[in-house]
């Protein structure tokens, strides 16, 4: 057996390392002691990040909403930064989400699969640029979360049309614009609470 990979895709013709598992005749494959190749490790890590650290994969309903939860922690962390730093950090996270989402889309084989949530959680801080989250009541994040999810689901112009763009860019760009809408709405809530 020339197997060099025990990852989930071993034995299939689509394995990125090109290995072919002979599970019935290879003792390393049978015992699981054969280690994944570097390309398969990257693919698994990318899928893990793209699905909200696996939350999008295990959520039986509303994987986009459940997979958005890491974004709450990220938004609080980014809100600690000065506004002039928040903007480039948010843009950097948006750009970083593109390859994660694109890779996960290829792995899952479905265009903009609902289990892919990096576009939600990595872009979530955009909806809070400049908002002093730590000085607001704890329950305000629940209101903000509902606003962000509602805008993402409703997809106001031009969000819905932008989804037709292929690959990771198409997955991310509609959420980028949706989070700009959410930012305006969240600022309205923030001002009402003060």
CA 136 to each of CA 1, 132, 142, 180, 184: distance values in angstroms, whole numbers, following the listed order: 61, 7, 12, 20, 17
Q: Report pLDDT for 138.
A: 93
| Contact assessment for residue 118 and residue 49, using Cβ atoms and an 8 Å cutoff | yes
Q: Is the pLDDT of residue 11 over 70?
A: no
DSSP letters along 78-98, please? HHTS-HHHHHHHHHHHHHHHH
CA-based torsion, 9, 44, 51, 108: positive or negative: negative
For the chain, count helices (H), then strands (E).
10, 0
Q: Which residue has the tokens 């989804």?
A: 163
Closest-CA residue to 34 (of 53, 7, 71): 7
| Residue with tokens 């197997």, as numbered in its chain | 3
- What does the pLDDT read at residue 44? 87
Q: What is the pLDDT of residues 128-167, one digit of tens each?
A: 999 999 999 999 999 999 999 999 999 999 999 998 899 9
The whole-model pTM stands at: 0.80
The span from the CA of 55 to the CA of 48, in Å, is: 9
Residues of the chain with pLDDT > 90: what percent? 66
For residue range 30-82, what is the model confidence (pLDDT) as tens digits? 455 555 666 678 888 999 999 999 999 898 889 989 999 999 999 999 999 99
pLDDT number for residue 18: 39
Percentage with pLDDT > 70 across the chain: 80
Taking residues 107-130, report their average pLDDT. Answer: 94
Q: Which of 121, 190, 188 is nearest to 152 (CA)?
A: 121
Nearest to 168 by CA among 86, 113, 90, 126: 113
Residue 17 pLDDT more than 90? Answer: no
Does 91 or 39 have the greater pLDDT score? Answer: 91
Query: Position of tokens 């801080």?
Result: 125
Q: Identify the pLDDT of residue 36.
A: 60
Between residues 60 and 171, the one the model is more confident about: 171
- Count how many Cα atoms sit within 13 Å of the Cα of residue 133 in the half-sphere of its side chain: 25
Alpha-carbon gap, residue 180 to 57, rounded angstroms = 27
pLDDT band with cut points at 50, 70 and 90 for residue 3: very low
Residue 9 per-residue DSSP state = T
Q: Provide the mean pLDDT of the chain.
A: 85
pLDDT of 116 over the 90 cut: yes
> Is pLDDT of 15 > 90?
no
Bigger pLDDT: 40 vs 97: 97
């Amino acid at each position: 057996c020339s197997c060099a990979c025990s990852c989930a895709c071993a034995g299939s013709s689509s394995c990125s390392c090109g290995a072919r598992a002979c599970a019935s005749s290879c003792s390393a494959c049978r015992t699981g002691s054969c280690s994944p190749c570097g390309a398969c490790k990257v693919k698994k890590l990318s899928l893990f990040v793209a699905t909200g650290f696996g939350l999008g994969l295990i959520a039986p309903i509303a994987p986009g909403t459940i997979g958005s939860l890491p974004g709450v922690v990220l938004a609080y962390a980014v809100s600690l930064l000065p506004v002039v730093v928040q903007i480039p950090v948010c843009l950097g996270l948006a750009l970083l989400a593109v390859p994660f989402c694109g890779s996960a889309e290829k792995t899952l084989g479905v265009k903009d699969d609902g289990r892919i949530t990096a576009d939600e959680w990595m872009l979530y801080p955009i909806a809070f640029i400049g908002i002093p989250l730590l000085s607001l009541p704890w329950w305000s994040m629940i209101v903000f979360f509902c606003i962000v999810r509602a805008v993402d689901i409703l997809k106001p112009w031009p969000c819905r049309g932008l989804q037709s763009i292929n690959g990771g860019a198409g997955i991310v760009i509609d959420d980028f614009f949706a989070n700009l809408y959410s930012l305006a709405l969240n600022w309205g809530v923030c001002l009402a609470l003060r």
